[in-house]
């Protein structure tokens, strides 16, 4: 738990400097700004190892109750990410919600064992299966809110972790040996390290003066839940259309969560269709792979872009997850990269804290940046390359990518290598993500 003391933080103006010096505040080792999946995982990892941590989440997150309908926003959790969530003690609450009124637990996770990807412009197809790489599953499709709710429930059981739910950060303050935050309710907190887990538009990143590079794809991802005539067979399906990939992701209740990447104009048209028109357009785009679309839930859309922070760290500041990097969702790697960020940063901070070293010192924080930046940039480049490769209408490119899909599908060892890499294996992993 944090300690109440005179706040060591200050702002740029003399008046506010005097106010900050006089105002009492609560002092922590680490303040994590942003209580989404990545920020909550980092806070739990640090709090479990005795660091005093504050986790600030602007949006209130009510406990998820059994019987609530599934949400469309989901993540494809890799085997390595599942291991991190299990090590944090959150996996049992993710896998099954407590039953209403003491009834039987309700499953909220779909383990997918197969993945099929094909090109709408040719015969190219590739199929992955868990048995081929000796794993029980290729991954798990889980609602984002289920993961976040489970992590916040776990956070509530950790004595060294204070959660500030439903309160926004209204300002940041700079001091000699600590940084601070001002909350909308008037409270002030300070810490030796501030971590930005506050999303792609990170206010902490902007305040720290860390620039980003990247570009928009002039696309939007339309998401919703659908039910089809045929079962999904615990398979992730993805068809590469000229306008962008269309994915059908299997869910625990037999429905699918769809992610349809398309141009802004097409997204507007798709969102404006009535339910029958949308079901028909979606079925056509998916070549009716699972039969007619029988039902669809509420639709939403969000813009797609590539973005990367020029630096992950500054003195007493670190970035994780979307605050540091944003990738195209065609392979569902965003949250998996973010959880690896959280695991790597936690490993470093726990080690330095145990050795009595300054956890906010830039020399130590650069180890985290070196550990994660190259891996994230490589994944961004790969996803950007796939997006451009499968978006090209040029005949030689269409021929080459279809031939490549067919050839890779026929070469078992190469295909299995790709699958294991996507699952997170074959790279240096933080302690939280390693086996056993």
Polymer length of the chain: 436
pLDDT tens for 179-204 read 999 999 999 999 999 999 999 999 99
Q: Can you tell me the mean pLDDT for 55-83?
A: 88
Q: Which pLDDT score, from 0 to 100, does residue 404 have?
A: 75
Q: Who wins on pLDDT, 422 or 35? A: 35
Cα(195)–Cα(190) distance, rounded to whole angstroms?
12
Cα(6)–Cα(383) distance, rounded to whole angstroms?
47
Q: Who wins on pLDDT, 433 or 166? A: 166
Q: Who wins on pLDDT, 417 or 272? A: 272
Cα(348)–Cα(431) distance, rounded to whole angstroms?
10
Q: Which pLDDT score, from 0 to 100, does residue 296 have?
A: 96
Residue 389 has pLDDT above 70, yes or no: no
Q: Which pLDDT score, from 0 to 100, does residue 7 have?
A: 35
Beta-ladder partners of 219: 263, 304
If you average pLDDT over every residue of the chain, what do you get? 87
Residue 248 has pLDDT above 60, yes or no: yes
Residue 26 has pLDDT above 60, yes or no: yes
Q: Can you tell me the mean pLDDT for 338-342?
A: 96
Q: Can you tell me the mean pLDDT for 44-61?
A: 94
Q: Which pLDDT score, from 0 to 100, does residue 256 have?
A: 97
Share above pLDDT 90 across residues of the chain, in percent, rounded to a whole number: 62
Q: Is 376 exposed, middle or buried (0-12, 13-18, 19+ CB in 10 A)?
A: buried
- pLDDT band at 43; cut points 50, 70, 90: very high
Q: What are the distances in angstroms from CA 378 to CA 47, 303, 332, 373, 384?
A: 31, 22, 15, 9, 10
Residue 134 has pLDDT above 50, yes or no: yes
- pLDDT band at 10; cut points 50, 70, 90: very low
Residue 235 has pLDDT above 90, yes or no: yes
Share above pLDDT 70 across residues of the chain, in percent, rounded to a whole number: 87
Q: Which pLDDT score, from 0 to 100, does residue 396 have?
A: 73
Look-up of token digits 């601070």: 180
Cα(424)–Cα(229) distance, rounded to whole angstroms?
33
Residue 123 has pLDDT above 80, yes or no: yes
User: Which range among 55-59, 281-285, 316-320, 427-431 shows the weakest confidence by mean pLDDT?
Assistant: 427-431
Q: Who wins on pLDDT, 368 or 399? A: 368
Highest mean pLDDT among 17-31, 87-101, 220-234: 220-234
Q: Which pLDDT score, from 0 to 100, does residue 415 have?
A: 67
């Amino acid at each position: 738990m944090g300690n109440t003391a005179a706040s060591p933080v200050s702002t740029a103006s003399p008046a506010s400097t005097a106010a900050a010096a006089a105002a009492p505040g609560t002092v922590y080792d680490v303040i994590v700004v942003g209580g989404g999946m990545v920020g909550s995982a980092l806070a739990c990892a640090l709090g479990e190892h005795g660091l005093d941590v504050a986790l600030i989440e602007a949006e209130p997150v009510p406990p998820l109750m059994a019987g609530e309908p599934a949400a469309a926003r989901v993540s494809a959790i890799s085997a390595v990410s599942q291991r991190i969530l299990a090590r944090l003690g959150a996996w049992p609450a993710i896998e099954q919600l407590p039953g209403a009124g003491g009834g039987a637990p309700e499953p909220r996770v779909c383990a997918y064992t197969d993945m099929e990807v094909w090109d709408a412009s040719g015969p190219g197809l590739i199929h992955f299966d868990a048995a081929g790489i000796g794993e029980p599953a290729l991954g798990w499709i889980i609602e984002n809110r289920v993961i976040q709710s489970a992590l916040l429930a776990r956070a509530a059981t950790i004595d060294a972790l204070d959660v500030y739910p439903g309160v926004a950060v209204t300002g940041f303050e700079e001091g000699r040996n600590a940084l601070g935050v001002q909350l909308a309710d008037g409270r002030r907190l300070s810490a030796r390290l501030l971590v930005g887990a506050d999303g792609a538009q990170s206010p902490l990143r902007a305040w720290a003066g860390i620039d980003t590079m990247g570009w928009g794809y002039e696309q939007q991802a339309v998401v919703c839940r659908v039910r089809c005539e045929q079962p999904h067979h615990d398979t992730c399906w993805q068809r590469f259309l000229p306008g962008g990939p269309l994915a059908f992701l299997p869910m625990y209740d037999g429905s699918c969560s769809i992610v349809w990447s398309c141009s802004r104009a097409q997204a507007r048209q798709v969102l404006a269709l009535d339910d029958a028109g949308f079901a028909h357009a979606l079925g056509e785009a998916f070549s009716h792979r699972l039969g007619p679309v029988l039902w669809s839930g509420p639709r939403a859309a969000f813009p797609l872009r590539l973005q990367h922070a020029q630096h992950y760290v500054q003195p007493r500041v670190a970035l994780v997850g979307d605050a540091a990097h944003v990738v195209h969702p065609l392979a569902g790697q965003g949250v998996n990269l973010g959880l690896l960020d959280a695991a790597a940063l936690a490993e470093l901070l726990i080690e330095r804290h145990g050795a009595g070293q300054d956890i906010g010192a830039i020399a130590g924080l650069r180890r985290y940046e070196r550990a994660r930046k190259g891996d994230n940039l490589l994944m961004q480049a790969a996803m950007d390359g796939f997006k451009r490769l499968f978006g090209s209408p040029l005949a030689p490119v269409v021929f080459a990518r279809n031939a490549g899909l067919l050839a890779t599908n026929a070469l078992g060892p190469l295909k299995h290598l790709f699958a294991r890499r996507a699952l997170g294996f074959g790279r240096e992993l933080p302690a939280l993500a390693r086996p056993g």
